[in-house]
């Protein structure tokens, strides 16, 4: 719906109507979009918020990780397209100038404050689970807190890695954080269903020790390492168990720990 029709509909009190600024389609099943950010909208890098559309006069909302950093004046999101999905079948058609609904209350556990201080920060992501980390790796505070920042991204196909590849490339060239990132941020990609120089699930790469060998770092350990995990329910379960097997304990906003998990939301 065009933004100028906004005053003709009644929005629920829990959301604001924001304008779509940009939409980028990465594959048949992945797209990202940017919307305006109201001055009152505050969040911590890594948090998620409700996003949606008015459908038949009613709000249809789903949780989305904010992919942009807290300092940015725009908000960015990275989404799958589900052809018969109630929201994403519609959301994938948005164009600049359209209106989307933005929840007023961001929240989440993939935030720096939910982790104890450490030397190395790992972010293990699969598929659209990279979204909250797109925010965290663009936050200067991440590099103030950690000596090494390791973002892993595993997808089924090579094309699905492109959002992350572009993100890291732009970041290195960014005037604000580019210098801070240099020599600290490592981007580690793998693919599971297509030929690629590095293949395999992140769980297998951790278990075999290949991840640590490739990076030239010690195995996961609770003294130095902190971990954020975001992917499907199965990926979370397996990666969490594996992380725990190295002796790391889970944290939360109320009680910071050595690792935190959050499901990658399905729009």
Give CA–CA dist 95/21, Å, rounded: 8
Quote the least distance from Cβ 82 to ligand A2P, whole Å.
Answer: 12
Half-sphere exposure of 36 (CA within 13 A, CB side): 15
68 or 203: whose CB is closer to ligand A2P?
203
50 or 264: whose CB is closer to ligand A2P?
264
172 or 266: whose CB is closer to ligand A2P?
266
Quote the least distance from Cβ 226 to ligand A2P, whole Å.
Answer: 20
Q: Extract long-range pairs of 8-11: CB within 8 Å, 24+ residues apart.
A: 9/54, 9/57, 11/54, 11/59, 11/101
| Burial class (CB within 10 angstroms; exposed 0-12, middle 13-18, buried 19+) of 192 | middle
238 or 262: whose CB is closer to ligand A2P?
238
Quote the least distance from Cβ 176 to ligand A2P, whole Å.
Answer: 31
What is the binding site for ligand A2P (CB under 6 A)? 126-127, 154-156, 192-193, 201-203, 231-232, 234-235, 238
Quick check: helix, strand or coil at residue 151?
A: strand
Quote the least distance from Cβ 175 to ligand A2P, whole Å.
Answer: 33
Give CA–CA dist 131/262, Å, rounded: 11
């Amino acid at each position: 719906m065009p933004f100028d029709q906004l005053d003709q509909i009644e929005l629920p009190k829990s959301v604001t109507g924001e304008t779509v600024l940009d939409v980028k389609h990465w594959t048949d099943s992945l797209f990202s979009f940017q919307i305006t950010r109201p001055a009152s909208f505050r969040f911590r890098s890594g948090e998620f918020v409700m996003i949606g559309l008015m459908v038949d006069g009613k709000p249809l909302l789903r949780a989305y990780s904010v992919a942009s950093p807290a300092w940015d004046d725009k908000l960015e999101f990275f989404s799958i397209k589900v052809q018969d999905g109630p929201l994403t079948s519609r959301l994938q058609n948005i164009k600049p100038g359209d209106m989307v609904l933005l929840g007023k209350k961001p929240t989440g556990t993939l935030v720096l404050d939910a982790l104890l201080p450490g030397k190395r920060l790992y972010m293990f992501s699969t598929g659209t689970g990279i979204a909250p980390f797109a925010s965290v790796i663009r936050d200067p505070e991440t590099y103030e807190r950690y000596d090494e920042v390791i973002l892993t991204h595993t997808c089924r196909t090579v094309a699905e890695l492109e959002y992350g590849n572009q993100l890291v490339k732009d970041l290195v060239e960014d005037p604000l954080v580019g210098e801070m990132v240099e020599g600290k941020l490592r981007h580690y990609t793998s693919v599971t269903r297509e030929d690629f120089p590095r293949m395999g699930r992140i769980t297998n790469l951790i278990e075999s020790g290949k991840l640590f060998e490739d990076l030239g770092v010690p195995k996961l350990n609770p003294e130095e390492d902190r971990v954020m995990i975001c992917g499907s329910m199965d990926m979370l379960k397996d990666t969490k168990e594996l992380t725990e097997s190295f002796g790391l304990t889970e944290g939360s906003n109320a009680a910071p720990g050595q690792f935190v998990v959050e499901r990658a939301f399905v729009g």
